[in-house]
Structure 1
């Protein structure tokens, strides 16, 4: 048997334990916020239907804003990982410092605009003055956490870039854990009600953001704003925001069409969609590992290692997706009953369930390659590919489904076409190798 040489593909592989060492803590960070929201919902739910509706609407608005600004994490990871791979850790952390300044600036703008627009936007979305009033009372307090949320997002970005996903998990769990204990105290014994939930949210974000800022200060890098770096981050951010908007348009349209189909359809869609989003977090943890590893390889000047790692992580995504397909196919007779006992909803769920099950291997590959291309800084391609898949696949099929009465099956057919189009584009890009541009900073 030939010996493994320094130039062989095997030598360029990353040990599976290293990939898992990045992916598992990243999954913890991704899951921490949804789990905290569940605790928050359980606490507020005992106040009655109106406060719960207000929390749902206010929380959805705040989440929508923070979701659109994830470029502060993904874009920072891509740039920091390259610099880290090139042996320039101080410059990699410096990307985090500039992203933190940008997070504070954008967060203050969000805070100001949010205070002005909270009432009209909440009323427009709910159509019910009572629900809108409750949502606004929660949102106007919670918005003070917006700059802190974005600082945490930026902190996750640079730490992932230097291949540290353990500290972000500790920081996020510290904030959310303390707040989860504080929330019921403020809501009930203190008597602040729904507003107590909002205060607990701000406390959580203050703790997490404070820990990220302290970690940044301890790195002893230059913290002064550097406009040129911020402009470069904004350029990458523009592409990622447009990509995120394409996702939001698809997801909102799917819910809207389900709601116009029947009560059973929207209930069934909600159950299956929440499971889809949960598994997306699981698969996205591999994408985060891919971002860090691919960016570092390209920063070190090794396009070959980047391609090997890309293939390796994509294979992991495919295997994990196939495993999820088997598990959730087996759970089909029992798992939906954990979410609802309504006979009509349970009868409708299979119209979406088998799409959801069959799409897991596709999602495993797509999300892994998203991470590869994001790590390479290939955001412009991802923007264009996602917009094309949304405009040519998902959105037309969803609204045709509404017009022709195809129901939930039509909605999930649209999602399937969207995912298959994304699969074809990212696989073609991966195979082309044009994404593998080496250097501490992407120049093409």
Structure 2
């Protein structure tokens, strides 16, 4: 159900929209986490390291498509706020066609380029065979990942965060079930973990399309599948800076992965496992920023700039409270968190150190994410691009390189 974010108390409307969004996003992170736990426990630390290495390379491959998708979402939210429902349908149709083509092309790129990607990042020799086997199956399903992401983004753009949550919950349950079936029963090894995720996403696409075909606003018949060039280009103009930012960060993550690989398999395993916990924590902040983006988009479309300012203030206060709670939890239970992935003492110690540093700087990351979310809702993605690239390439990467000499 679409939610009108231009009405109601700000402190009530943003959480009402963000909560289902958060449940869906956290569920997605949890089933990614569960995937890693199952792989680490039943297939060994080399297989877990392969999953970790694959994530960052895959993120780079799809980052530009995700950036363009974010631009279309802004267009949809602003048009929905202005009550221009015909433009919403045209924007949805345009991005659906783009996502289908982009997904097919990127699937081929991922499968064909797998060997070169892992050699470029200096993947440890003992991890390489697992990484190639996992990644080729995983990359073959890129079409499903992009279509699923597209459908959820459009629904969120019109203020519907409940159905996306349901679809993510369904895919999470399916992914865990397929993981256990393919790894423990069929003995498909690490290929089974990748196949489980791809098949779950394909089921998610089928569920989302079935829902959209019955949606009053988004229902598209074959004759409605048109490519609206002006609307698409507006989305591209908004989304390209985000795409550039995502690509720059993805390249940075690949470079960072190369640095981490230089420390050996234990550090790579700890980095991947702690990174899963990191992703869950950061996802809460990013969900708030995403909800604020949709909130700002609708209210700017409706001319309610007073609500935009109130929304940013509320999000900043929430960020401070959240980060203090997270820091306390990491200081008290960091080692226990790592213990869910492995019993290796060295890996646990490295991961605990990672989480402690994360907790200390999280509040600054949260504040920046909230400002970026508000600016994206306004259609200004250049600010987010600059801050994202500067913080990653001028701060994070140099510090990582410096750590090689400590």
| TM class, shorter-length | 0.7 to 0.9
Map of 1:14 onto structure 2: 9
Please identify the structure whose Cα radius of gyration is greater: 1
TM-score (norm 1): 0.76
Map of 2:219 onto structure 1: 220
Any idea what SS the aligned residue of 1:163 has? coil
Any idea what SS the aligned residue of 2:227 has? coil
Q: In the alignment, does 2:288 pair up with 1:293?
A: no
Q: How far apart, in 1, do the equivalents of 2:22 and 2:133 lie?
A: 32
Q: How far apart, in 2, do the equivalents of 1:66 and 1:237 lie?
A: 13
**27-36 vs 156-165, which deviates more?**
27-36
Q: In the alignment, does 2:109 pair up with 1:110?
A: no
Deviation at 1:286, TM superposition (A): 0.8
Pick closer, same or farther for the CA change 1:72–1:33 going to 2, 3 Å. Answer: farther
Q: How far apart, in 2, do the equivalents of 1:317 and 1:71 lie?
A: 24
Q: 1:393 aligns with which of 372, 385, 395?
A: 395
What aligned pairs does 1:301-316 form with structure 2 within 5 A after superposition?
301-316=303-318
Q: Deviation digits for residues 165-216 of structure 1, max 9, x if unmatched?
A: 1101111222232232133323443454433333322221211112222333
Map of 1:411 onto structure 2: none
Map of 1:40 onto structure 2: 35
Any idea what SS the aligned residue of 2:113 has? helix
Q: In the alignment, does 2:240 pair up with 1:208?
A: no
**301-310 vs 336-345, which deviates more?**
336-345
Q: How far apart, in 2, do the equivalents of 1:354 and 1:148 lie?
A: 36
Q: How far apart, in 2, do the equivalents of 1:51 and 1:258 lie?
A: 16
Q: How far apart, in 2, do the equivalents of 1:315 and 1:203 lie?
A: 40
Pick closer, same or farther for the CA change 1:126–1:317 going to 2, 3 Å. Answer: same
Any idea what SS the aligned residue of 2:225 has? coil
Contact 2:290 2:373 in 1 (8 A): yes
Map of 2:170 onto structure 1: 174
Q: In the alignment, does 2:231 pair up with 1:229?
A: yes
**271-280 vs 91-100, which deviates more?**
271-280
**200-209 vs 161-170, which deviates more?**
200-209
Pick closer, same or farther for the CA change 1:386–1:200 going to 2, 3 Å. Answer: closer
Map of 1:357 onto structure 2: 359
Deviation at 1:160, TM superposition (A): 1.1
Q: 1:89 aligns with which of 85, 89, 93?
A: 85
Q: Which runs of 5+ in 2 are unaligned?
A: 1-5
By relative contact order (CA 8 Å, sep 6+), the higher-ranking structure is: 2
Pick closer, same or farther for the CA change 1:381–1:60 going to 2, 3 Å. Answer: closer
Deviation at 1:240, TM superposition (A): 0.8
Q: 2:132 aligns with which of 124, 131, 136?
A: 136
Q: How far apart, in 2, do the equivalents of 1:14 and 1:312 lie?
A: 11
Q: How far apart, in 1, do the equivalents of 2:46 and 2:312 lie?
A: 48
Contact 1:110 1:146 in 2 (8 A): yes
Any idea what SS the aligned residue of 1:170 has? helix
